[in-house]
Every structure is written in structure tokens, then in C-alpha cells.
Amino acid sequence: KIASSKATINTSLEGSRPSIIQVLSSSLVVSKEKIPSMFLIYSKLALAALLMRARAFPKESNDGPHVDFEEKNPKEDSGLIVDATKAGHVKRDRLLWLVVNFFTDKMTDIVASNTHESEMKNTLEAYLQQEDLYCFMLASLCVSQHQKDPLEHSTIRIHTLKSVSRLVQSLRDFKGLSRQTREKIESVYFVALVRALIRQRINFSDLISSANDKRLKKWQSHLTNEADLIFCTANEVAELLSLHSSTVNTDGSVNFSHLIRAITRKEDSHPLQPANTSALAQFLEALVWFWNFLTCRFDVSSPTETMLRSRLMVPISSAIISVCGSPGISVEGTSSVDDKSDKSALSFSDYFDSENSVNGLFLPDESSEEEGDQRHRRILLRKICQLSQCVSLVFRSVNEKLICQETRSFLFPSRQYGPFLPLVVTRIGHAMSDMIFQLFSKDAQGEAYPYGARECGNTIDDLLGKAYCRLYGFSFSGVDPDASNKYAPESIKAATHIFRCVRRVYHDNRKSPPNRAFETIELALPPGEESKASKSIKAFLFDAEKKTVVANITTDLPPGFPEWVFSEAQKVTPSDDEHQANISMLRRGVAHELAKGSITLLDPSQKSPSDMDDQVGLSEERELTQSHELSLHKKFSAVLDDLCYNPNNIERWIVLSECLGFKAEYICDRLARIQESYVHSEFFLDINSKRKSRSSLSLDQLQTMQKEEFQESRKNWTPYIGNDLRYYMQFSWSNLSSLQTCAKEIGSTICQIDSESPDLDGSISDCMCWKEIDSMYEERNFVSWANSWAGMFVAALRTMRLRALLIARYLAMKSQEGMHPGEVNEDIGTTLYGELIASTVYGYPMHPMSLHEKRAIAECSNFYFQEAVELSSNSMYTQKCQTIAFELYFMIGKCYEKIASTLKEEMYLDSSKGGCPTRSYERVMKDAILYYSKAFSDAHNAEQYSGGPDKTCVGGSSHGALECLYRLHATRFKVLHAAIRHVKEECDLAELEAFRITSVKWYDKSNESSSTTGVRQKTWDVFADCVDALSHCLREIPLFHRAAYRLAQAYNYGPAFHNPACDLSLGSKQAVPAIKSYRVRGLDTGSCANSASIVISKLFEKKRSQICAVWVTTSAAPSPFEVLNDSLRKYDSLRLKY
């Protein structure tokens, strides 16, 4: 009950008589200024206990503080412990050890709880300058062991070692101590550990070679306890040496660490230090003896010895490898012998990629240098090479299972950094790589080792790769390691070495470095402050301002993005602090590397640690969707971080937009359509195939009405809620737990704004929407709740995506490097056109898209496609343009077709009454036909130039010129199909208009009547021509599903094309007279429905795998049209349609 702080003062035992130590410690704790004195008192008490024990066992401590590293004959130590078996001596010995451990722990508590007091600092500095600490560590750790000692003796010694370890760690962590003082603490402790390890080797050897029956439990227990003590000591030695490796200079000299200097100090430099040769020789001899014992597999050994070999393999291997981090500590026995006269001398060609004639040629050589300095450098280079081979041999000799055992040291805080042996290998490997660069006077940040030492460097990097695999879960061999192995680097210095090693390995490699390497480095980086440029970029991207404009054509920098960001963000402020400079370098490097790579190469197995428990019960599709969302967010964050350092990178803005767009597409594909996409009466004749009323609005009236409908649809609607759009990318929509967290985060910001500014209409509207959606969750209507959030997710993601694309466009227009501006415009046009799919307005609540909004989006998309065509042929830009002209013409035609579909309801004006017979619908649709024709002509010429059409793509939308041909004549057919469905009063006008539109381009000119005929004949001519074109598409590609559907539709409507006033109640079962049907390929004289059935059934005659192949797009570089069709909702729409 001895106190070390106020919290540990014991006042509960009333009437008891406290000891003198209790009274003294309690009084010193109460008066804070006396706490340092208490530390000194405890240290004296611990040392006094050790001295009392020394008097009780004089032969064990005869050498006192004088350290003797000479080995003793075991027979001479037979009388070290006199009468130790007597009960009194054993009890007293145990009590003294317990006293030592007790006061050592008290000293640790005092240091750990008083880390900021100046008086404590002064006391420690003064104490550590004395010899008490050295005597205390030697007396507590360097104790001989005898076979007749009680088993409890070894256990207490292990506890003593742990107590001393904790004390040393607390002293090293104490703030304010000078570097020299810290080095002295480590040096004294290291010397005591080395001497202890040498004595433990003697004791262990005595036990192994003893004549006792090895089947006795007592012998086995003695051996096991001694092995445990060796285990702890070797770990401590390896930990210290690996953390404090030596460094080299360009002249071949070595800057030995303070640990090596401590055990090799001359006798005249310190009275307590041994001679250097004896210290080094006995230490290395002990390690070699242990290694021989561990690797000797031929001697007959007991099961206990076999078990201990596995127990000691990792710590002994770690100690040997850590010694390799200090080249030059060995005694050079051939220093006066010429290398050429020594036949046993190793040649550089044994280790390097150079031949004998250039040994040492690539080492730095100056005319002022003496010949001896050059020789020292060559010798040191040879030693580094030999040591790297030694590390490789030792590390490869350790069994894989033993490497991953819990063998971490308890002194330094390495427990959280992974298995101990790989950690030691990484430290020594990093030190050796630095030595090579230092010896060659090269920058350690180089992407390759200096020429002449690359074989040695590659050996080191290969070792590091294997160690990284055990520690961080990535390797350089291409083998997927265990994903559970993922620790953080122990320091910024270690993270810097990892980054440099990865760059060296992959600098000339075709493969990309593993992302996990940079993610591991990122774990070591402290939270950093965002720069002014970073804040501006994120403020622009995540701005939640809601604008009523449907689509805006922007030719300059988007509003809200400051132009100074492009020049300010790239400025790098040099730092004199190496630590801060490394952090800055790593941030930029990691962000740049993680942002690399295609968006299609994301890891599909990503799982959020916070959502692991929520994975149970998820459907396979939902779990897959969530993993994709998490991967996209991971990629998005990496790209955004890189853009904050280099916002001028056009490709990064494109990838950022793709991350946002892909997530929006994932969500859209999993939402049910809010309106029926397929009307049966459009495919075959029935009573609803005809319109019920005629068009009665002028163009101005029609546009005014559509605009009013649009404005009405926007009432009580919001694209998203909240004041920060980052939440919509950060959280997964597909996981209900993650979605609920997102809702709470957004709700908390909304309510906070609402309470601070209750008069803001936007905030009140957001708060009302949030409460309305939240009520669905409270009512356990989870589907409606999730779908409500889904609409806002899609709207927010699309908003951010368009912002990123507009920044990329601005940069491409101003730059002569990177992506061509035509490619960026193509991406923007495709993105905008994609919003027209399913004609749905996302947000809350989701609703069908109005015609006014559809026309505005199509016009905006058309603008960017048209600009892409102009820019692709602009000679002002020197970079290569990857856009294909016919694909742009094709999409322009689709935009015009969408625009025309919003103008169909304009009234017809009879030219005989003085009106203009040409409607806007006719003018726009003619433009669509012309652009489709131009796309087909360019695509056909391109195929002829390349040797013919590509036959490898049999499904999806990868049909090249044939796709353009189909779209041209399918559009002509749809114009004609819409015309015959008009009411009788305007059917003739509609058919004449359709003829003017469709007669712009013919598939076969022979189908056009030579003489002026009536409207019925003209309609049949165009109908027959369209059927010929669609039949040609199916003959070229039998699995062209859109052509099959459109041809079957044409056959079903054959009776209406023959006579629009036919009996609709009979449907498509009617027949067309033979005088007309003979002109239409594939149309029988019987029921038209039978002809349609024959065409459409061929798509479903195959096996399931073959049917699915019809819908697959296999193009490596998809066109914009392929991108639009490569979505799950488009696939589902076609399946339901067919």
C-alpha cells in the first residue's frame, strides 16, 4: 500500500499501524514538490535490496560492477550459490527480488504520472548522470542461474526484466530529457541485456549438456524457464538494435549507434566498460551458438528441446538480423593484406550486377581522396552486401507459422505494429537501403539504386516485400496476401521508407503498385490542416445551393469556383523541418498514387469496418452494391485529395465525375420505374392504337403550357436536402444502417440551421422534407423511406458530377496538354443525355420528367456534342483527340429526335388557309434524319478503310455502321408510325408531313414511286423501304434485338399502314392484300401477327447463356450510345418491352 500518487494513498484501514515507508511516501505525494525526492528514495531502496542480496550470495556477485565478458567454465560456478536449498535463504532471496520489482514499478509510476514538471526533469537528469542506474540494471539483470535454483527463481527474474523494461520505457518517454540522456539510458540498458544474454547462453548450455535425466519434469521446467528468459532478453536486444542502426559516410567510415559504442568502449574511457574485443566476441558468439542450436536438426533431442527451438527461433533470428544493421562492428583481420593477394576474398561480382573489371568503379571518387579511403568504401560496400545476404538467409529459414506468432517485445511500443520478426526486417532493410545511397552519395528518394549496387539493393527490396506482406498485407510478388494483416507503420520515417521502396520496385515495371501499400502509408499520417485551395475546391463541389435552371450552357469557369486555385494549389512551401517535409511529401505522393488507375479496376470486396455487423442478412445483390459504393467513395476521396494538390489535372476531374456518376447509376438501376415505360398498343394494333383528339395548340401555346407544367411539377419538390453534398457520396445507400446514419447527419445540420435562422425558407423546407421522410422510417415503411433518399442521392451525385465535368472542360479549353476538349465535351453531352433515360426527375419526391425539362436537357446535351465536333477538328489544340466523328453525329441525331418528341403536339396548319405548313417538329426531325445519315456514311467509310465491320461483338450496341443504319431507318419508321395513329381529321396532314421527313433519305431508291401518287401510296413506299432496311440489319446480325423488335412492330402495324381506318378491334390478325404485301419483305398474305411472331421469337430460341449474350456489350472502348445502354435499368426496360 505504498503510494506513488494521490489516488493511491490508502486511508481506509482505521487503527492500523502504517509502515515508515507508507508514511514517508504519503507525505511526499501530498506535497507535490517532493515527488522527485520520492523517486530517488525508491531507487535507493531497490538498489539496497540488490546489495543485500549480493551480500547474501557473494560468489554470484563477486565481480560487482566490474563487467567481465569472459566465459567461465561451468564447473567453476558450481559453488556460486551456497546453501541455496535451505528454506531461509530461498525465502530471503525471493523476498529481496519482490522488493526490487515492487520499487522498480513504483519508480515507473512516478515517472509516468509526472511528465511535465521541471523539478522532476532536473532530478532525473542528475540521477541518470550517476552510476546508480548502471549498477541497478547490471545487478538486476545480470544474475547467474544454477540448476539447483528453485523454479520460482526464473519466473521472478522474468518479472524483474519486465519491470526494468517498463522503467526504461517511461524514462525514454519522459518529455524534456536531452538526447544524450536518453542515449545513456538505452546504452546502459543494452549493456546489461548483452551481459545477461551471454550468461543465459552459459546457463542454457549447461542445462542442455547436463547429465540429468531429460524425462524429469524438474529439468524440463528449468529449461523452459530459462528459455523464456532468453526469449525476453533477445527480443529486447533486437528491439533496441533495430531501432538504432548505424549509418555510413561517403568516405567509407561508419557512424556507430550509441548502443554499439557502449559495448565496444575501451577500458580507459570508462571504468565500468569492458574491452571492445571481448564484448563483441562474446555477444556474437552467443548469437551464433543459439543459431546453431536452433538449426541443428540431426542431433537426438528431447521433445522439450524441440519445442524450445520453435520458441526461440523468432527472437534469436531477430537479434541476429538487428546486428546486421551495424556494418563495420566486426574485427577486420585482413586490414593490412591486399585484396588481390587474398584468394579467399569475395569478389563484388558475387553480389553486384557489375563484373570484376569495374569493382568499385561507380563509387564516388575525387582526386583529393587518398587510396585508403577508396579501399575502406569498397570494404564497407562488401560488408553491406554480405549482411544483406545474411539477413536473407536468416529470414528465409524461419517457418511461416513462427513468423506470425505473438513474439513482440514488451519494452518499446511495437505491439501495435505487427509481428516482431518482419518488423525488425523492415527496420534493418530500410537502414541498409539508406546505407547504399549514402555510400554512393545519392539521394535516397531516387527511383533506382546506384549502378553497381542494384543486385544488392534488389535483394534488400525483395526482403522488404516479404516483410511488408506479413505486416501490411501487400507484396511485390503478385500473390494476394491475407487481407487481415494490416498494421500501420510505426513512424513517419518508416512510412517514408515504404513509399521509397514501392517507387523503386515499380519505377520501370508495367504493373501498377498495390493500392494497399499507399493506404498503409496513409495510416501513419497525422490529420492535416486543409489548405485554402482545398477548402475552395470542396466548397464548390459540395455546395448544396439549389437552382431552378434545368440545364445551363456554360462556356467559362463555372460560377463559385475561384480561378486563383489553379495557380495557388501547386505552390509547395519548402520546410526546414525534415519530419514535416516528409509528411508533406507523403501526402502528395500517396494522394497522387491512389488517384491513379482506371475506375473499372476498383476492389469489389471493400467493406466498411463499422458495417461489418450489418453484413449479416444482406442479400447478395445488396452486399455487392454496397461494396461497389464503398470502393467508389474510396476512389473518390483519393482523387479529390490529389486534385487539392494539383487542380490542373484534367484526367483527375474526369475520374472524379465517373465516381459520382457510377454511384448514381448503381442507385438508379435498383429503383422501380415510377411510370410505365412500355405501352402495348405501340407494338400491335388494338382499340387504343389511335389518338383520341387532334392537336390544337400553336407552338407558342404549346411551349407556354409545357413550361407551366414544369413549374407546377417543381412545387413541393427539392433535389436534395442539407447544406453539404459530401454525405451523399460518403455513405452507402444500399445499406440501411449506413443510410440511417446519413439521414441523422443531414438532419442534425438541417435542424441546427433551422434553429439559428428560422426565417430561411430553404432551411425550413429542408427540415420539413426531412421530417416527412423520417416519418416513413418511424412507420416502418422502409421501402418508401429508402426510395425517397435514393432520389436525393441521385440528384446530388449528378449535380456534383456535372460540376466536375465543367471544371475539366474549362481546363481543357485553356490547355495544350492532357485530354482534348472535344473528349470532355463528349463526356458532358453523354452525361446530360443519360438524365433523359426513363424520363424521371430524381429528388424528393421523384416524378415523371416534363416535356419542357426534357427539351431543355436535350438542347444542352446537343450543344456540347456539337461543340465536341467543332473542337475535334480545331487545329489550335495539339493533343490527340480520341473522339470518333460518326459517334458524335449519331448522338446529335438522338438529341434532335428527343427535342422533336416534345413538339409533336403542335397543331397542323393547312397551307390552303394561308398558314405555314411546316411545323417545328418537322424541321427538327429532318435534322435528326440528316445527322443519322451523316453518322452512317462516316461509319461505313471508316469500316471500309479498316477492312470491314467488326464481327466480334454480336450483342448490345456494338454494331458500328449497322447501328447507325438501323437508327436512321428506325427513326423514319417511328415518324411514319406516329403519323398513321392521328385522328382521321388530321391523318392525311400527318402522313404528308411524315413523307416529307422520311423521304430525305431512302434505304433503296427503287422503293420510291416514280410518279406523283396519293398519300396512301407514299406511306406504303416509305413503309416498305424501312422494312427492307430493318431486314438487312437482321440478316447481317441475326441477334440484333432492336432491329428484330422494330421489324415485328412494323409487321403488326401493317394493316394500319395499308388503311389507317381499318377495324382496330381485329388487331394485328388482319391481313394486307397481296398486291401490297409482296413489296414488303417477310410480310405474309395471312395474319400480320404471324409474320411478327416469326421475327421476334428468334431472339428466344436459344439457351439461356446464348440469349443473355444478345444483350452484352463487349466493346473495349464503348461509344456514348453504348455507355447509355450499359445499365441495368435499360436492360430491364428492354426485357419487359420484348
**Residue 848, strand partner residues:** 840
- The pLDDT value given to residue 70: 37
**Residue 344 reports pLDDT greater than 80:** no
Mean pLDDT in residue range 1029-1052: 90
- The pLDDT value given to residue 304: 83
3-state SS, residue 241: helix
Q: Place 353 in a pLDDT band, splitting at 50, 70 and 90.
A: very low
**Residue 17 reports pLDDT greater than 90:** no
For 918-944, the pLDDT digits (tens) are: 899 999 999 999 999 999 999 999 988
- The pLDDT value given to residue 78: 40
Largest CA distance in the chain: 136
Cβ–Cβ < 8 Å for 1099, 1039: yes
Mean pLDDT in residue range 1062-1089: 91
Alpha-carbon distance of 470 to 468, in angstroms, equals 5
More confident residue, 911 or 647: 647
- The pLDDT value given to residue 679: 77
- The pLDDT value given to residue 805: 95
Alpha-carbon distance of 125 to 130, in angstroms, equals 9
- The pLDDT value given to residue 539: 94
Cβ–Cβ < 8 Å for 1050, 973: yes
**Residue 1100 reports pLDDT greater than 80:** no
**Residue 417: partners with Cβ closer than 8 Å, 6 or more residues away:** 423, 471, 487, 488, 489, 490
Sole residue written with cell 544488392? 456
Mean pLDDT in residue range 835-847: 91
Q: Place 274 in a pLDDT band, splitting at 50, 70 and 90.
A: very low
**Residue 906, strand partner residues:** 697
The pLDDT mean for the chain works out to 80
Sole residue written with cell 546489495? 51
Alpha-carbon distance of 891 to 833, in angstroms, equals 9
Mean pLDDT in residue range 853-870: 95
Cβ–Cβ < 8 Å for 372, 365: no
Candidates 527, 471, 462; CA nearest to 494 is 471
- The pLDDT value given to residue 277: 61
Candidates 362, 581, 357; CA nearest to 450 is 362
**Residue 893: partners with Cβ closer than 8 Å, 6 or more residues away:** 927, 928, 929, 930, 931, 932, 935, 967, 971
Angle, CA of 915, 917 and 919, to the nearest 5°: 115
Alpha-carbon distance of 806 to 783, in angstroms, equals 35
**Residue 411 reports pLDDT greater than 70:** no
Q: Place 219 in a pLDDT band, splitting at 50, 70 and 90.
A: confident
Return the number of other C-beta atoms located less than 10 Å from residue 397's C-beta: 12
Distances (CA, A) of 972 to 503, 683, 922, 1001, 1124: 58, 16, 12, 9, 22
Sole residue written with cell 520499487? 103
Residue 187 backbone phi and psi in degrees, to 5: -65, -45
- The pLDDT value given to residue 367: 45
Classify burial at 1101, counting beta carbons within 10 Å of its beta carbon; exposed 0-12, middle 13-18, buried 19 or more: exposed
Q: Place 34 in a pLDDT band, splitting at 50, 70 and 90.
A: low
Query: Among 10-24, 333-347, 1049-1063, which is the least confidently predicted range?
Result: 333-347
Cβ–Cβ < 8 Å for 1055, 1023: no
3-state SS, residue 177: coil
Q: Which amino acid appears at position 730 of this protein?
A: Q
- The pLDDT value given to residue 596: 86
- The pLDDT value given to residue 249: 84
DSSP per-residue string spanning 842-889: -SBS-EEPPHHHHHHHHHHHHHHHHHHHHHHT-TT--SPP---HHHHH
For 455-471, the pLDDT digits (tens) are: 889 999 999 999 999 88
For 399-408, the pLDDT digits (tens) are: 888 887 654 4
DSSP per-residue string spanning 1098-1110: GGGSS-HHHHHHT
**Residue 900: partners with Cβ closer than 8 Å, 6 or more residues away:** 921, 924, 925, 928
- The pLDDT value given to residue 300: 57
Cβ–Cβ < 8 Å for 1076, 697: no
Candidates 362, 517, 373, 377; CA nearest to 455 is 362
For 127-160, the pLDDT digits (tens) are: 877 777 778 888 888 765 544 455 566 778 888 8
DSSP per-residue string spanning 391-419: HHHHHHHS-HHHHTSS---SSSS-GGG--
More confident residue, 451 or 664: 664
Cβ–Cβ < 8 Å for 971, 936: no
Q: Which amino acid appears at position 1081 of this protein?
A: R
What letters, b where the CB count within 10 A reaches 16 and e where it falls short, cover 325-340?
bbbbbeeeeeeeeeee
- The pLDDT value given to residue 726: 95
Give the rounded distance of the alpha carbon of 891 from its chain centre: 36
Report the first-to-last Cα separation within the chain, whole angstroms: 86
3-state SS, residue 1117: coil
Cell of 138: 547490471
Candidates 638, 405, 1040, 548; CA nearest to 843 is 548
What letters, b where the CB count within 10 A reaches 16 and e where it falls short, cover 484-523?
ebbbbbbebebbbbbbbbbbbbbeeeeeebbbbbbbbbbe
Q: Which amino acid appears at position 99 of this protein?
A: V
Return the number of other C-beta atoms located less than 10 Å from residue 748's C-beta: 12
- The pLDDT value given to residue 279: 76
Cβ–Cβ < 8 Å for 271, 197: no
Cis before residue 58, ω within 30 degrees of 0? Answer: no
Cβ–Cβ < 8 Å for 982, 957: no
- The pLDDT value given to residue 75: 43
Q: Place 413 in a pLDDT band, splitting at 50, 70 and 90.
A: low
Q: Place 31 in a pLDDT band, splitting at 50, 70 and 90.
A: low
**Residue 1107 reports pLDDT greater than 70:** no
SS (H, E, C) 708-774: HHHHHHCCCCECCCCCCCHHHHHCCCCCHHHHHHHHHHHHHHHHHHHHHCCCCHHHHHHHHHHHHHH
For 649-682, the pLDDT digits (tens) are: 999 999 999 999 999 999 998 888 887 666 778 8
For 223-259, the pLDDT digits (tens) are: 888 888 899 899 999 999 999 998 888 877 888 889 9
Q: Place 333 in a pLDDT band, splitting at 50, 70 and 90.
A: very low
Alpha-carbon distance of 193 to 189, in angstroms, equals 6
- The pLDDT value given to residue 82: 42
For 105-118, the pLDDT digits (tens) are: 888 888 887 755 67
Cβ–Cβ < 8 Å for 788, 842: no
Residue 277: which H helix or E strand, with range?
helix 276-295
DSSP 8-state secondary structure symbol assigned to residue 841: E
